[in-house]
Every structure is written in C-alpha cells, then in structure tokens.
Chains A and B, each alone.
Chain A
Amino acid sequence: MTYAGIDVGAQSVKAVIFDGEKVLGRKLLVTEQEAESAAQEVYADLLEDLGLEAKNVERVFATGWGAGDVSFADKKSSEQLCAARGARWLLPTARTVVDIGAEGSRAMSLDPEGTTTNFANNSKCASGTGSFIELGAVYLKVPIEQMGPLSLAAAGAADVSSTCAVFAESVIISHIHMGETRERIAAGIHRAAGTRIHELIGRVGLVEDLVVVGGAARNPGLVKALEELTAVPVKVPEAPEFVVALGAAIQAFSKRDTRRARTRKKG
C-alpha cells in the first residue's frame, strides 16, 4: 500500500509517495495557477511516473499554505508537524528543525523521541524567508541559483538591513553605487536572511542536530550564514524541498497504524 503527501506552498506544489519504508517518488510543480488544479496536476503526474493509480494510494494528506484547497486529500496537517516528521525520518538525530519556505519560515524543537515541544513561526514578513533572497537576486541581477555560490566567494559581507525586503532594495542599490562587490552584497543578503532565521531558532532554543529543510536549504550561502550565526553545523537532508510533503505522507501512513491498532484493541 502507498501513502501520499501534498505540500501546497506559495510558489510550488510538491507531492511525495511513500510506502511506509521508502520514498517511491517525488514531484514538484512551480505553480502559476490555482492551488487546487496545481495539486491535482502534480499528483496525477507523479502517479503516472510511478505507474500507479489513485486507488493504489491508501491515504493522502495535504499540508502547506494552500492545503485547504486540496479537495482530494483525506486530511490536512500543519506544516510544522510535517516538517518535523519528515526531517526526523530522514535524519533521526534532528532536535531543531527549521523549514524555510518562499513565504514563511518556522522553527521546531523536538525532544529525543521526536515529539515537537516548541515552535515559532514567521509568516508575516518576507525577511527571513526564501522571498528575501529571491528579491535580493533580482536587485543584484543574478539568477537565484547563483546567489549562494556567489556569496561563498566573498571576503566578508556588506551590511544589508534585515528588516524589510522592499527597503533592502535601496540599500543594495546604494552598495552597488558605492562600489561594493556583488559577492559581498550577496553575502550580506544571506546574512540578513540568516539573522531573521537565527532569531526564530532562538525563540525555540537551539539543540543539535540542527536540520534545515525547504527549498532554501539548497542554497549554500544561506547554510553558511546560518552556521556562522548559530555556531553549529547545519544538516541538510536529501531533496530538502520535499521534506514537508514527505512528512505529510508519513502522517498519512502512521494514521493507518493507529487506526489498525485501535481496531485490534477493540477486537
């Protein structure tokens, strides 16, 4: 039997199919359309890739910003729970999990058993989310995937305000005119985003291992900035952008377990 998790983010929809032991497939769709149709499309494509049909999937859990729009999901689950479950399944030593999305970021602290004991959320301000670095890339006229590598080439970092992604534009433009290198400005942008994420981690309390998930975890500049700010190594699982969707699939799977256990008890 298989289980599916659908993570409807602000910029992309991710689907994961899981059989209780391993991930069978993953698929991501950058979305320009409504959440519902994007979720349907990515799920149908993934099933087709795997040679499966919807009836082969026991349960579908949806999560993320647009989870409420996924009408074919059996249940919704919170992003923080899914991020924690997914990260812990991939990296069982995780005690602090940070999920950095396009339009929100969150930090969870887990006890040694993996239960979430505390979480902090930022969904109000673009600073400290993937959008901040994306806008920085636009201002610097650098493709987003080159931002991290560019910042790693810098000696030091230019001072970029971490308060507002919109106001950062004039700061970045004045840096360019003052002759700052793009490398140092890129490093400053990552440090600014990292500073806000570090504050979020501070609110839940940092315990190692620190695991970062979400698409932004693929950005080596942000990982380096977070390592410098937290003074601990950052662990990034494989395919970090799918961890929340995986967590939803794991929940869909474990839901089955509890139901069967109950049935057995009654019997």
Chain B
Amino acid sequence: MYVAGIDIGSATSKAVVMQGDTVVAAHMVETGPESRASAEAAISGALLRAGIERGDLRYVVATGYGRINVPFARKVLTEIACHAKGVHFLFPRARTILDMGGQDCKGIRVDLEGNHEAFAMNDKCAAGTGRFLEIMAAVLKVPLEQIGALSLEATEDTKISNVCTVFARSEVSRHLRRGVPKANILGGLHAATADRVFTLLKRVGIQADFVISGGIAKNIGVVRRVEEKVELPAHISEEPQIIGALGAALFAREGAESERGE
C-alpha cells in the first residue's frame, strides 16, 4: 500500500511516497507562483521516482502554507503537526525542534509520542529566516551553499546592528566598501541569525534531544552557532527539507489504515 505526503512551502514544495515504514521516493521542486502547479510537479516527480501511478496512492495528506491548493489531498494538516510527526519518526527521543525555512522560523516542543506541546513562530519578519541569509548571500556574491562554511572562517564576527533585512543589506554593502572580509561579515550575519533563533527557541523551552530541520539545517554556520547557544548537539536528518512531507505521509498511512479497518 502506497501513501504520500506533500508539503507546499513558500520556497520549495516536497512530496514523499511511503510504503509501510519505508520512504520509497521523495521529490522537491521550487514553489512557483501557483501552489497547485507546484503540488503537481512535486507529486509527479515522486511518483516517477517510485515507479508507480497516481492511482496506486491510497491516501494523500497535504501540509505547508500552500496546503489548501492541493486538489488530490484527502486531508490537510498543519505544518506543526506534520513536522512533529516526521521528526518523531526519525528521532524518537526528540523534544525540541528548530525548523527554519525560506519564509519562516518555527520552534516546536514535542512529547516523546511526537505530539506537539508548545510552539512559537516568526513569519512576520524576514530577520531570522532563510530569506535573510539568502539576500545576504546575493549581496556578498557568495553561493548560498557556501555561506555557512565561509562564516566559520571569520576571524571576528562583524557586528551587524540592523535587525531588518532591508537595512542590514545596506549595512553589509557599507562593510564591503570598507573592505571588511566577507567571512567576517558572514560571521556577523550568522551570529545575528542564531541570536534570533535562540530567542524563539527559549519561548518554547529547550530540552534534549534537539533537532534542526528545514533548509537551514544544510547551513553549517547556523547549525554550529545555534548548537553553541542551546548547548546541545543538533540531530539533523539526511534530507532535512522533507520532514514536513514525511510527517504528512505518516498521517496518510494512519488515514489509510483506519479506513481499511472500518
């Protein structure tokens, strides 16, 4: 029996196909202006990789900010519930989750059954989200995949006094004109991001085990600095961006099972 979970995020859309306890295929595409088309692209890619047809899917659950635009989903669930579910499946001892995506940042505390207990989110301000670092990478002309590692080469973190992404961008340009090394500027930018994230995590309460998910988990500069702040090592899965979709697929499996039981 095949089921699927689909997560329509602001920057990327992900689909996960599961059979039993196994992830058969996962596929990620950039979210276009129309979430419906992005959902189609993500699920088609995952089906192709799994080598199955749309009709083979018993149950599909959608999540993410564009979740209401997935016509083939049987059920729609919040990102928080799906994230907690997906993280618990991968790391059963997880209690605190940082999920940082393109346009938001969430702190989630879960119990040992994977139910979420507390939750804090910033989706109002680009500071402390992936978008902040994305914009800075563009200003500094450093590929996004390299900024984290480069930030760890800083001899000192350049103080970034603006919180606002727009103002910090001008500040970074001024530092560049003054000849401040890019690594030091990136050091300051990553430190600022870690500070914002830490404030958010404190609101939900930090307990071991600690998990980082979302696109930011691929940024070693943020991961290291957040680990220092929370004083816990971070568990990171191989594919940290598909956890929401994975959780949705797990809910889809439950949905299909309960249907079969009826």
Chain A min CB distance to B206 (Å): 26
Is A10 an interface residue, CB under 8 A from the partner? Answer: yes
Q: Cα distance A164–B34 when bound, in Å?
A: 22
Please determine whether B33 and A177 come into contact, CB atoms closer than 8 angstroms. yes
Q: Which residues of A contact B219 (CB under 8 A)?
A: none
Chain B min CB distance to A27 (Å): 22
Cβ-neighbour of A163 out of B10, B124, B132, B162 (below 8 A): B124
Q: Cα distance A103–B162 when bound, in Å?
A: 11
**Segment of A92-100, A107-115, A123-131 engaged in the interface with chain B:** A123-131
Please determine whether A166 and B135 come into contact, CB atoms closer than 8 angstroms. yes
**Segment of A14-22, A70-78, A167-175, A241-249 engaged in the interface with chain B:** A167-175
Please determine whether B125 and A164 come into contact, CB atoms closer than 8 angstroms. yes
Please determine whether A167 and B34 come into contact, CB atoms closer than 8 angstroms. no
Please determine whether B166 and A135 come into contact, CB atoms closer than 8 angstroms. yes
Q: How many A residues touch B, CB cutoff 8 Å?
A: 20
Is A53 an interface residue, CB under 8 A from the partner? Answer: no
Cβ-neighbour of A124 out of B10, B132, B164 (below 8 A): B164
Please determine whether A167 and B126 come into contact, CB atoms closer than 8 angstroms. yes
- In chain B, positions 125-166 with a C-beta closer than 8 Å to chain A are 125-126, 131-132, 135, 162-166
Please determine whether A174 and B33 come into contact, CB atoms closer than 8 angstroms. yes
Please determine whether B164 and A125 come into contact, CB atoms closer than 8 angstroms. yes
Cβ-neighbour of A165 out of B103, B166, B170 (below 8 A): B166
Q: Cα distance A165–B127 when bound, in Å?
A: 11
Chain B, interface SS category: loop
Cβ-neighbour of B126 out of A103, A131, A166, A173 (below 8 A): A166
Chain B min CB distance to A102 (Å): 9
Chain A, interface SS category: loop
Is B260 an interface residue, CB under 8 A from the partner? Answer: no
Cβ-neighbour of B166 out of A126, A174, A176 (below 8 A): A126
Cβ-neighbour of B170 out of A10, A124, A176, A177 (below 8 A): A10
For A132, give the chain B residue with the smallest CB separation: B166
Please determine whether B170 and A167 come into contact, CB atoms closer than 8 angstroms. no
Q: Which residues of A contact B167 (CB under 8 A)?
A: 10, 103, 124, 126, 131
Please determine whether A177 and B135 come into contact, CB atoms closer than 8 angstroms. no
Q: Which residues of B contact A173 (CB under 8 A)?
A: 33
Known: A34-B177, A124-B164, A177-B33. A166 touches B170 (CB 8 A): no
Residue picked from B126, B132, B167, B177, most chain A C-beta under 10 Å = B167
Known: A164-B126, A166-B135. A103 touches B170 (CB 8 A): yes
Q: Cα distance A135–B131 when bound, in Å?
A: 15
Please determine whether A170 and B126 come into contact, CB atoms closer than 8 angstroms. no
Chain B min CB distance to A187 (Å): 21
Q: Cα distance A167–B162 when bound, in Å?
A: 17
For A163, give the chain B residue with the smallest CB separation: B124
Q: Which residues of A contact B34 (CB under 8 A)?
A: 177
Cβ-neighbour of A170 out of B10, B124, B125, B177 (below 8 A): B10
Q: Which residues of B contact A177 (CB under 8 A)?
A: 33-34
Please determine whether A170 and B103 come into contact, CB atoms closer than 8 angstroms. yes
Chain A min CB distance to B33 (Å): 4
Q: Cα distance A34–B178 when bound, in Å?
A: 9
- In chain B, positions 89-111 with a C-beta closer than 8 Å to chain A are 103
Please determine whether A166 and B165 come into contact, CB atoms closer than 8 angstroms. yes
For A161, give the chain B residue with the smallest CB separation: B124
Q: Cα distance A187–B178 when bound, in Å?
A: 38
Q: Cα distance A124–B165 when bound, in Å?
A: 10
For A170, give the chain B residue with the smallest CB separation: B10
- In chain A, positions 173-198 with a C-beta closer than 8 Å to chain B are 173-174, 176-177
Q: Which residues of A contact B135 (CB under 8 A)?
A: 166
Additional pairs, 16, CB under 8 Å, beyond known A165-B165, A170-B103? A10-B167, A34-B178, A124-B162, A124-B167, A125-B163, A126-B165, A131-B166, A163-B124, A163-B125, A164-B165, A165-B166, A166-B126, A167-B103, A167-B126, A173-B33, A177-B34
- Could you list 27 A-B pairs, sorted by A, with CB under 8 Å? A10-B170, A34-B177, A103-B166, A103-B170, A124-B163, A124-B164, A126-B164, A163-B124, A164-B124, A164-B125, A164-B165, A165-B126, A165-B165, A166-B131, A166-B132, A166-B135, A167-B124, A167-B125, A167-B126, A167-B131, A170-B10, A170-B103, A173-B33, A174-B33, A176-B33, A177-B33, A177-B34
Query: What are the 8 closest A-B residue pairs judged by CB atoms, nearest first?
Result: A166-B126, A126-B166, A177-B33, A163-B124, A166-B165, A125-B164, A165-B166, A164-B125
Binding site for A on B (CB under 8 A): 10, 33-34, 103, 123-126, 131-132, 135, 162-167, 170, 177-178
